[in-house]
Amino acid sequence: MKGSQRNVWRVICALLLVLFLFTESRAQSDLFGTWKGELLRSHPLIESSKVGIGGISQGAWVAPKVAFDDPEIAFVFAAAVPGLPPSEQNVYTLETRFMRSSASKEKIDYTKKALRTLYEFYRTGNTAYRDKAENLIIDPKYNLLNEDLFKRMMFSSEAKVYESIDVQDWATMFVDPLMWRWEITVPVAAFSGEDDLNIPTEYSLAVIEAALKDAGNPHYEIYSYPNGGHGLTLENGPEGDWPRIAPGYVPMMAAWFKKMANH
């Protein structure tokens, strides 16, 4: 095996171990889990100076946090990159799905208001927001409890507004996904689909690029793919077709990993 190929495989091995170890630790810990960087760097198949971190969607803002905490991280890879807190991502997702269902602008605006009011209760614990949200939700004109997507975004098993909450349980919904990018100076690659219904791609990539520039980091590459959805699969493929990756995404990702392996 040639040296460049060996380096690429070392990067791939590192990424696979990151996926396993980080996912396992998240399942047993909090949102961010426990990063096992030293274990990865000590593995005989891995070049210790080539260990990076990557993620998709929510993982795309967890990965920069790991890189911020671990100065030995070599690079950050992020796909379906959000530039909004999770709470606002949910509002955006609700809006795009309602638009696709041909809901009226009046109903969309009303639903967004109700969800933001509910989330303000989750953020502050202020029961005045709770009462206001409940009144908006049960208004018979819109009857939002008939909307499955809205009910899921209430994060209540019985689709009822909680009587009281511990705001610490909801804190991660309001995390600024840009806060750690201000300090990252290692190479960063960001990939997103232009037709992502879960995040505003153009806005997200713009604010992420601005954050990296403000950090004085010239080592970044940003890509967007027409007709690409949240998983970088084609959003409008033929009916009944298998999910297909947006053209150009895999070759560009592979080329970037190869560049990192030889960096």
* 257 Cβ contact partners less than 8 Å away, ≥ 6 residues apart: 8, 11, 12, 15, 77
| 224-233: average pLDDT | 90
| Span 31-43, average pLDDT | 66
* Residue 249 in this model has a pLDDT that exceeds 60: yes
pLDDT at 26: 42
Whether pLDDT at 52 is above 90: no
What's the Cα-to-Cα distance from 53 to each of 60, 93, 143, 248, 250, rounded to whole Å? 9, 26, 43, 22, 17
| pLDDT at site 263 | 74
Grade residue 222 by pLDDT with cuts at 50, 70 and 90: very high
pLDDT tens for each residue of 165-217: 999 999 989 988 888 776 888 999 999 999 999 999 999 999 999 999 988 99
- Report the percent of the chain where pLDDT is more than 90: 48
pLDDT value for 223: 93
Q: CA 48 to CA 40: how far, in whole Å? A: 8
Domain map of the chain by residue range? 3-84+176-261, 86-173
Query: In this predicted structure, what is the pLDDT of residue 110?
Result: 97
Tell me the per-residue pLDDT of 88-105, one tens digit each, with 9 for 90 and over. Answer: 999 999 999 999 998 999
Provide the token pair at 137. 């939700």
CB 76 within 8 A of CB 65: no
Domain 3-84+176-261 is found in CATH 3.40.50.1820: yes
Which pLDDT score, from 0 to 100, does residue 35 have? 65
Calculate the average pLDDT of the chain.
Answer: 83
